[in-house]
């Protein structure tokens, strides 16, 4: 240790440095020998071949993906921009498509994220799973009841009555199972909601919704296990003082997959078909954090970290210095050095025969002719992760949908594809309008240079200028300087732009008034008319919401539910349930459902309906109304357990009062009242009065 201005500095002897370097070389050599095993080399070759096939299969879709990204940013592609620059004039870009994307994205956010209720729920299955001995238990109970009846009456009960009792007991048993399933399902739903909040699911979903409106396909990934830093507040001593503590924990997470980095198999319609490859790009810290996550090979990761320091993994995927988004060859960027590790994640089948020949010793690989769903991560020649898919249904954690599906294709259509022609015409009209406005902004000048005196500047005009002129040598006596005004075509061009804006409304099914535009006429000028028009417009977009429900949210959350059923430590959350995505339901109830709840609350506020619904039914209605208003239901409506306790207490009090009243003496006839003259009042209509 030596002293310095900054404090103590540890001095490491050369012997220790040499020893550390030798240890690193030894670890790299051991990792390389392990990576060169037939299993790892075979998997690496399999994934590399799949990557080349998928990369070539995606080439036809790349221009559309790039065009969609440019439409979002409002920029021309290089070839179009070169033509515009060659012609000269305006380079304006009217962001019609980007405006529609913002409207649709905001509309989808309002449906999936702007409501008090989650866009999904967990419901118990309609018929609960009966235990294997359930029927035997019910029959034993009914047999005991029959034996008791026979012992008291010495007669066997009617067989019809016995069957009816058996059916009633089965119904009662099923209802008890349903009550238990509802409680278990509610606990599981809260657990899943907590997992999604901790994983930042709303931020991921927000980016996914932008992709849905922009790119040919939008892809959501999850749940996947990742190691994350978590800040916890703990009390290390008995004082109770909370102190921050950073811990690394394994948690299920969700990710948005960049369409530029998604490579489906040729002919695949979804990520579940064929195979699916995702291209990751990690910083040093992100790549290092893979150490310790389930399934990753620490020795291979550390070998990659050391090899990359010497440039051994530079551009191993063959992408060159191309810009991933636009595909244009660009110089090496400084920002590129920040993202140092390109990784391929392969999700797809591997033939059992190959796995066995490569030396995989896994009891699940027992059929040489079968395909086994596998997950392989490749960085250069290093296999940093290789495992059989643990999902019991062999489902991959990738879920995809499109704004508009194309049958048989992975890449569908989004707003930039639908509005491509309209966007091009509007851009051309806007450029022409700007060029024409510039030309027509002032007069054009015609100069007869034969009549101007030598040396006069004809490139500048200024007021009160004096020009010397002389007779032309050719005998022309026209004006030496003349002016004329170019014709303005602004009105015609504005009509073209307005016409194609209406085409954009029709083609996209996203009218301008959905974005708050004040350019409205006809029915849209009134509140009721505008409401009807917006309801009609939303019908065209309900299919998009339904696609998200059925193709993304429902299967992804079902996968999270199955993960919890298999690996969650809390047994009280495990039961027979199913995920119900309700984005389309949220769309239909944005405004009307709360109004209908209030109407139902008022209509049923009468003694007859309350005698039917009871206290519990009324509490459920109040709870639903309070939730719709964004209120804390626990502060307004007591929990079910407390309601049951209150009802039991009220019944006991009522019985006690009835018993007290029964012990009191009956009032005398007439109630002891007297007339004004002192004569007692008699009841001539009571049964006693009618007795002779």
Both structure tokens of 277: 């490859």
pLDDT value at position 25? 64
Judged by DSSP in three states, 144 sits in helix
What is the Cα–Cα distance from 572 to 188, expressed in whole angstroms? 8
pLDDT value at position 234? 78
Paired with 220 in beta bridges are: 256, 399
Q: Nearest to residue 216, comparing CAs of 285, 262, 249?
A: 262
pLDDT value at position 443? 81
Q: Where are the beta strands (DSSP E) in 162-242?
A: 218-234
Output DSSP code: residue 642.
H
CB 61 within 8 A of CB 412: no
Q: What is the DSSP string of 263-326?
A: EEPTT-SSTTSS-EEEEEEE-HHHHHTTTTSTTB-HHHHHHHHHHHTTTTTTTTTS-TTB-TTT
Cis bond before residue 661 (omega within 30° of 0):
no
Positive or negative, the Cα torsion across 611, 615, 617, 622? positive
Output DSSP code: residue 549.
I
pLDDT value at position 687? 45
pLDDT value at position 213? 93
What is the Cα–Cα distance from 137 to 170, expressed in whole angstroms? 10
Largest CA distance in the chain: 153
pLDDT value at position 112? 84
Judged by DSSP in three states, 32 sits in helix
pLDDT value at position 52? 92
Blockwise average pLDDT, block size 10, the chain, 692 residues: 51 63 64 70 90 93 93 90 86 91 88 76 77 68 72 73 73 76 88 91 93 95 85 74 80 92 94 94 87 85 83 71 50 51 91 80 78 90 87 90 92 93 92 88 79 77 78 68 83 90 85 60 46 55 85 92 89 85 61 66 76 76 70 69 72 72 50 52 45 41
| Domain residue ranges in the chain | 1-26, 36-88+258-413, 591-661
Output DSSP code: residue 402.
-
Angle at CA 541, nearest 5°, toward 538 and 546? 120
Task: Tell me the Ramachandran region of residue 274: left when phi exceeds 0, alpha when psi lies from -120 to 50, beta otherwise.
Answer: left
Positive or negative, the Cα torsion across 548, 549, 555, 557? positive
What is the Cα–Cα distance from 41 to 36, expressed in whole angstroms? 6
User: Is the pTM here over 0.85, yes or no?
Assistant: no
What is the Cα–Cα distance from 145 to 168, expressed in whole angstroms? 13
pLDDT value at position 524? 44
Residues 6+ away with beta carbon under 8 Å from 557? 120, 192, 579, 581
């Amino acid at each position: 240790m030596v002293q310095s201005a900054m404090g103590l500095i540890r001095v490491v002897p050369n012997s220790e440095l040499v020893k550390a370097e030798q240890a690193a070389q030894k670890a790299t050599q051991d990792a390389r020998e392990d990576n060169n095993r037939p299993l790892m080399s075979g998997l690496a070759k399999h994934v590399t071949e799949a990557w080349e096939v998928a990369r070539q299969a995606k080439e036809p879709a790349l221009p559309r993906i790039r065009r969609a990204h440019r439409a979002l940013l409002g920029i021309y592609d290089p070839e179009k921009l070169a033509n515009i620059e060659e012609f000269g004039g305006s380079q304006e870009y009217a962001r019609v498509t980007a405006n529609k994307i913002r409207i649709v994205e905001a509309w989808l956010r309002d449906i999936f994220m702007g409501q008090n209720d989650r866009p999904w729920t967990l419901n118990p299955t309609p018929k609960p799973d009966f235990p294997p001995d359930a029927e035997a238990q019910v029959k034993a109970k009914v047999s005991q009841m029959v034996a008791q009846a026979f012992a008291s009456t010495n007669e066997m009960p009617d067989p019809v009555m016995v069957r009816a009792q058996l059916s009633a007991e089965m119904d009662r048993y099923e209802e008890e199972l349903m009550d238990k399933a509802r409680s278990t399902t509610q606990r599981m739903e809260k657990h899943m909601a907590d997992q999604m909040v901790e994983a930042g699911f709303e931020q991921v979903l927000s980016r996914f919704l932008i992709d849905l409106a922009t790119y040919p396909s939008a892809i959501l990934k999850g749940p996947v296990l990742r190691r994350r830093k978590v800040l916890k507040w703990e009390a290390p001593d008995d004082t109770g003082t909370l102190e921050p503590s950073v811990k690394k924990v394994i948690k299920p997470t969700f990710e948005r997959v960049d369409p530029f980095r998604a490579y489906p198999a040729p002919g695949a319609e979804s990520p579940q078909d064929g195979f699916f490859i995702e291209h990751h790009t990690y910083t040093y810290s992100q790549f290092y954090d893979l150490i310790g996550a389930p399934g990753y090979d620490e020795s291979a990761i550390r070998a990659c970290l050391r090899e990359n320091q010497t440039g051994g993994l530079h551009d191993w995927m063959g992408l060159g210095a191309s810009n991933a988004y636009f595909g244009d060859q660009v110089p090496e960027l400084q920002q590129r050095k920040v993202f140092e590790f390109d990784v391929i994640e392969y999700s797809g089948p591997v033939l059992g025969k190959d796995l066995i020949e490569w030396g995989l010793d896994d009891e699940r690989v027992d059929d040489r002719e079968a395909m086994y769903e596998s997950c392989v991560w490749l960085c250069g020649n290093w296999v940093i992760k290789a495992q059989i898919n643990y999902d019991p249904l062999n489902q991959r954690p990738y879920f995809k949908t499109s704004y508009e599906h194309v049958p048989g294709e992975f890449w569908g259509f989004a707003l930039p594809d639908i509005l491509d022609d309209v966007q091009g015409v509007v851009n051309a009209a806007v450029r022409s309008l700007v060029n024409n406005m510039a030309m027509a902004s002032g007069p054009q000048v015609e100069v007869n240079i034969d009549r101007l005196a030598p040396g006069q500047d004809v490139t500048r005009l200024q007021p009160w200028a004096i020009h010397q002129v002389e007779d032309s040598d050719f005998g022309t006596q026209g004006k030496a300087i003349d002016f004329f005004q170019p014709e303005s075509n602004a009105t015609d061009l504005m009509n073209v732009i307005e016409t194609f804006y209406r085409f954009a409304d029709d083609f996209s099914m996203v009218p301008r008034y959905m974005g708050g535009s004040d350019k409205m006429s006809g029915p849209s000028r009134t509140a009721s008319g505008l409401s009807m028009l917006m309801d009609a417009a939303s019908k065209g977009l309900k299919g998009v919401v339904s696609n998200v429900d059925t193709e993304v949210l429902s299967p992804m959350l079902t996968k999270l539910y199955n993960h919890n059923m298999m690996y969650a430590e809390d047994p009280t959350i495990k039961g027979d349930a199913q995920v119900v995505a309700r984005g389309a339901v949220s769309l239909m109830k944005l405004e009307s459902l709360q109004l209908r709840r209030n109407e139902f609350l008022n209509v049923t506020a009468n003694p007859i309906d309350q005698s039917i619904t009871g206290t519990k039914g009324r509490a459920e209605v109040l709870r639903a109304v309070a939730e719709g208003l964004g209120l804390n239901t626990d502060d307004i409506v007591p929990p079910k357990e407390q309601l049951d306790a209150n009802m039991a207490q009220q019944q006991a009090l009522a019985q006690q009062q009835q018993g007290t009243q029964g012990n009191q003496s009956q009032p005398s006839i007439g109630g002891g009242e007297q007339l004004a003259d002192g004569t007692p009042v008699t009841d001539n209509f009571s049964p006693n009065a009618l007795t002779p």
